[in-house]
Chain A
Amino acid sequence: MTLFFIVTLNGLTLAALYFLAATGFSLIFGLMRTVNMAHGALLLLGGYVGFSVVEATGSWGLGVIAGGLAAALAGALVQFGILGWMQGDELRQTLASIAISIIMADLMLWHWGGITYQVTLPELLSGGQRLPLLGVGYASIRLALMAFALVIGVALWFLIQKTRFGAVIRAGVDDQAMLRALGFPIKRIFISVFALGGMLAGMAGVVAASALSIAPGTDLQFLLSSLVVVIVGGMGSVGGAALGALLVGLAEQYGLAYAPTYGAVFTFAIMVLVLAVRPQGLLGRAEK
Chain B
Amino acid sequence: MHSEPLLQIAGLNLRYGSSHVLHDISLTLGARPLTILGRNGMGKTSLCNAIIGLAPHFSGSIRLAGTELTGLTPEHRARLGIGYVPQGRRIFRSLSVEEHLTIVAQKGGDWTIERVYETFPRLKERRRNLGDRLSGGEQQMLAISRALLLNPRLLVLDEPTEGLAPAIVSDVVALVREVSQQGMAVLMVEQNLHAALAAVEDAAILVGGEIVEHMSAQALATDPAMQKRHLALELA
Say yes or no for B110: interface residue by CB 8 A criterion.
no
B102 contacts A182, C-beta separation under 8 Å: no
Are A182 and B150 in touch, CB under 8 angstroms?
Answer: yes
CB–CB B94/A180 < 8 A: no
User: Any chain A CB within 8 A of the CB of B104?
Assistant: yes
Is A184 interfacial (CB 8 A cutoff)?
yes
Residue of B nearest to A183 (CB): B78
Return A178 CB to nearest CB of chain B, in Å: 5
B236 at the A/B interface (Cβ < 8 Å)?
A: no
Across the interface, do A177 and B74 meet the contact criterion of CB distance under 8 Å?
yes
**Interface magnitude class on chain A:** 10 to 19
The stretch of B63-71, B84-92, B200-208 that contacts the partner chain: B84-92
Category for how many chain B residues contact A? 20 to 34
> In the complex, are the beta carbons of B92 and A181 less than 8 A apart?
no
Which of A179, A181, A183 has the most CB atoms of chain B within a 10 A radius of its CB?
A181
* 9-residue interface stretch from A63-71, A104-112, A166-174, A243-251: A166-174
For B53, the chain A residues whose CB sits under 8 A away are 180-181
- List chain B residues, Cβ under 8 A from A164: 102-103
Asked if B52 and A174 make an inter-chain contact with CB atoms under 8 angstroms apart, the answer reads no
* Residue among A170, A178, A186 making CB contact with B90, cutoff 8 Å: A178
Q: Is the CB of A174 within 8 A of B94?
A: yes
Residues of A within 8 A of B20 (CB): none
Q: Give the complex CA separation of A182 and B150 in angstroms.
A: 8
Partner of B92, one of A171, A180, A183, A186: A171
With A164-B102, A180-B75, A183-B150 known as contacts, the answer to whether A170 contacts B54 (CB < 8 A) is no
Given contacts A168-B103, A177-B54, A178-B90, contact A184 B75 (CB under 8 A): yes
Q: Which of A181-207 contact B (CB under 8 A)?
A: 181-186
Interface: A287 (CB within 8 A): no
Bound Cα distance A170, B79 (Å):
21
In the assembled complex, 10 residue pairs joining A and B whose CB atoms fall closer than 8 Å, in A order, are: A164-B103, A167-B102, A171-B92, A174-B92, A177-B74, A180-B54, A180-B73, A181-B74, A182-B147, A183-B150
